[in-house]
Homo-oligomer: A and B are copies of this chain.
Amino acid sequence: MADTKGVTNTRRIRVEWGHCDPGDIVFYPQYFAWFDACTTHLFESVGLSPKSFFADFGLKGMPLLEASAKFHAASGFGDEIEAESVIVEWGNKTFKVTHRFTRGKTLLLEGMETRIFVTAHPDDPTRLKSVPVPKDVKRRFEG
């Protein structure tokens, strides 16, 4: 894999009551749900819309090989978070996205996801099969 200077997408996220736990901070798995949405929005930012992207490329999803986060500061109810996402690596079948969440000048957390592209398995549509990174997808992120 080679590092790739990718398209960066930034979103604002509002922390709601239901995102938080009895410690009065965001329940940490929620950050991974936001990572997932941030990745969708990153693809959308290069014209790969959620309504058509999977159908256009015959995909069933982009499941994870790996996900991680390092937490630096907590956030809580009513906070406005800025989330910055970028694809930092492309493999033959994989890509790695990093997410950086800040609140004002405070770094809240840094996370990453390594994902693959899958289609329905030709022999059994209930199973998933990984496929190479579609060239047209990768090209969009290279500008």
Contacts and interface: CB of A to CB of B under 8 A. Distances in A.
Contacts of A50: 17, 77-78
Contacts of A63: 23, 25, 28, 71, 74
Interface stretch (A31-39, A82-90, A135-143): A31-39
Contact of A36 (B17, B37, B68, B126): B17
A28 B67 contact: yes
Interface residues of A, number: 40
13 contacts: A17-B21, A18-B27, A21-B21, A22-B24, A23-B60, A28-B36, A29-B35, A49-B78, A51-B78, A64-B71, A67-B68, A67-B69, A68-B69
A131 interface: no
Interface of A: 16-18, 20-25, 27-30, 32-33, 35-37, 40, 49-51, 60-61, 63-71, 74, 76-78, 118, 126, 128
A24 B68 CA distance: 22
A23 B64 contact: no
A77 B78 CA distance: 23
Contacts of A37: 16-18
Contact of A77 (B22, B32, B60, B77): B22
